[in-house]
Structure 1
Amino acid sequence: MKKLALAVVAVGITVTSIAQDKTVQELMGESGKTIKKDESDTTVKIWKTGGMFNITLGQTSLTNWAAGGDQFSLNSNGLFNAHAFYKKDRHSWDNSIDLELGYINSTSLGTRKTNDRIDAISKYGYLLFDHIFLTGLFNFRSQFTQGYTYPNDTTKIKTSNFLAPAYVIVAAGLDWKPSPTFSLFLSPITSRWVIVNDDELSAKGAYGVDSGKTVRNEVGAYLSATVNREIIKNLTYKAKFDLFSNYKHNPQNIDLFMTNLLSMNVYKGFGFNIGADFIYDDDQKSFGKDKNSARLQVRQFIGIGYQRKF
């Protein structure tokens, strides 16, 4: 009887061990499987976020070079943009920021800035019908550091600084968004503040601000179109096109601000950028024979470097 009891206990322990081993094996097998989304799950993401970072570097050095040129030059440019889009029911909230800063250093000219931009925008919209949103918009645009023009190799004239100028736009209007990659906003009543927070520039009455003042308010009509689209795999086009007409002063002279950026990832983060920016500001009269004319400002660039999307 005693032997029979021992045998029963031994068999029980063996069966339990086998069952436990099988359970452990099943758990291990399940943990190694890839989790797949249920095809019946149609939940839409409320927030969509992303962005891109790009840095471009270039260097040239010459030694006993008969053709001539700078003995050494180094150029660098950094670009960062990010976005966060919210969409739920009839509500949408789009936020984006673009930052750029670039310099060139050479033995003959020293260090000069080649690019500088801060551009942040936030839009809240309520869907009325067929991709048309009743929208409120806030936009801030400026630059990081001091900027100069160079009439000759030994003379430089300050033309900008942080918050000099800066543009703050508050607008209400209609926003047409036929797709997630395109938006066209129109506001018949917009308030724009031009800020020149620099004593030297303010004293000159730069950017339309009265001499000695730091802020000028304008009321007018505003149009803004944005595109952020992947044309083909790894090739992205991003653009912004703004128009503003000041009802208070020369409304027929419309201010223009436009940026274009074509980015392509060629191999493991290394790629190229091609861009072109256009600005026309009727109050920025720093051109012409007597430095009292407004002109279309153009900047174009091509860069090869490292970029990372997230």
Structure 2
Amino acid sequence: MKKLVASLVIILSICSVRSYSQEIDTIPINTKDLNIKLKRSPLPSRQGPLNFEPVKLKPYVVNAKVNYWKTRTNIGINVNQAQFSNNWKGGGVNSVAVGGLLNYKAEYNKNSYSYVTEVILQYGKVKNKDQLQKKTNDRIFWDNKASFQLSKNWFFFGSVSFESQFDNGYRYYRDNNTQEEQQVLISRFMAPGYLTESIGFEYKPVKYFSTRIGTGTARQTFVLDSTVYDGKTNVYGVDKGKKFRNELAFQVVSSFDKDIFPNTNLKARYLMFVPYEDITWSKIDHRLDIAITAKINRFMNTSLTGVMLFDADTGTNKIQANQTLALGFGFTFPR
């Protein structure tokens, strides 16, 4: 019995010690006689309360405007010259050729509305020894298009374009008696000139490709100089004695403009004009313009351009074509 009581007393003592040790978090230590030196904090300390005062900040207004216009200008100048001595046995003829190009494009985009205007001016001439001067290139083209977005890839558009040339164009032949080169005027500024208005729908799946479907298209062909008739009763589809001809048609215009390689750009434009008054293959006009421009350095580039044209109103039922390869100086703004 005594052993049982002693065991209970021991168990109760152990439990009370454990509960007491769990309640105590710290143990006081008497540091009166201990030599303890505390290190001084390097941070400054301030005695007393800290006072905070509000600071009034003047709002700064940024005077910034959103520019919805994007413009780009390309200028190209090409020069070619060849000179031979009188005793040069390899054959050849002295020649000088000069060509110039100006391409300006401005684009406005805001919400679902967009407007694009593009101007292309091209002119070139070549002079060979003992021959008349001849044009290598001559074009004025101005295209304006306003469109409203209907869905992700479809737009409703209206466009107006103008096309003509700067200088006189001639047909060349040699006189049977003197064998000298002669020329006959066949075209000049506004003879012919083309003004085209079109409305319809445009499909643009990506930025570099688009197709216009002009269901309502009107084209006026102008011949303002009667000297280009040269005895003919009809030139460029305009009867002699009249100044212009109006046509209603269905028109398709496809455009492609993309850098296909580093520093190499491919630009193509295809136009099909189908007059409603006579929908036959011989009366459908086709025009394909292709230009490949490769940049050599900051100021020099080389370009290969070509045009394929089928238009019975120009006086032939065959495909017409021209091609130009040039090396020259090119400037782009903004760079």
Taking structure 1 as reference, are residues 182 and 51 closer, same or farther at Cα in structure 2, changes over 3 Å only?
Answer: farther
Give, as a single letter, the amino acid of the residue that structure 2 aligns with 1:236. Answer: N
Report whether the alignment pairs 1:140 with 2:140.
no
CA contact (8 A) 2:158 2:200 kept: yes
Closer, same or farther: CA 231–247 of 1 in aligned 2, 3 Å: same
Superposed, 1:110-189 pairs within 5 Å as 110-152=132-174, 154-189=181-216
**Corresponding letter in the other structure for 1:249:** D
Instruction: Give distance in 2, aligned partners of 1:243 and 1:201.
Output: 26
Please report how far the alpha carbon of residue 233 of structure 1 lies from its aligned counterpart in structure 2 after TM superposition.
Answer: 2.7
Match in the other structure for 2:326: 303
Q: TM-score, length-normalised on structure 2?
A: 0.74
Q: Which of residues 77, 101, 106 in structure 2 aligns to 1:84?
A: 106
In structure 2, what is the equivalent of residue 207 of structure 1?
A: 236
Letter in 2 for 1:200: T
**Equivalent position amino acid for 2:268 in 1:** A
Deviation of the 1:121 alpha carbon: 0.4
* Identity %, equivalent residues: 29
Give, in angstroms, the shift of residue 127 of structure 1: 0.5
TM-score (norm 1): 0.80
Alpha-carbon distance between aligned partners in 1 of 2:320 and 2:136, rounded to the nearest angstrom: 14
Q: Given residue 306 of structure 2, which amino acid in structure 1 is its aligned partner?
A: A
The 2-side partners of 1:279 and 1:160 are apart by 17
Q: In structure 1, how many angstroms separate the alpha carbons of the residues matched to 2:185 and 2:263? A: 39
1:264 aligns with 2:264: no
- Secondary structure of 1:200's partner? helix
Q: Is residue 222 from structure 1 mapped to residue 251 from structure 2 by the alignment?
A: yes
TM superposition shift of 1:158: 1.8
Match of 1:279 among 280, 304, 309: 309
Unaligned runs of 5+ in 1: 1-40, 286-292
Number of equivalent positions = 261
Counterpart position of 1:58? 80
RMSD, aligned α-carbons: 1.8
Q: Distance in 1 between matches of 2:246 and 2:218?
A: 7
Note the C-alpha offset of 1:149.
2.0
Aligned equivalents of 2:112 and 2:74: distance in 1? 28
Q: CA deviation at 1:68?
A: 2.7
Q: Distance in 1 between matches of 2:70 and 2:203?
A: 19
CA distance in 2 between counterparts of 1:251 and 1:137 reads 25
3-state SS in 1 of match to 2:236: helix
Q: Kindly indicate which of the two structures has a greater share of residues assigned to strand.
A: 1
Structure 2, gaps ≥5 residues long:
1-63, 175-179
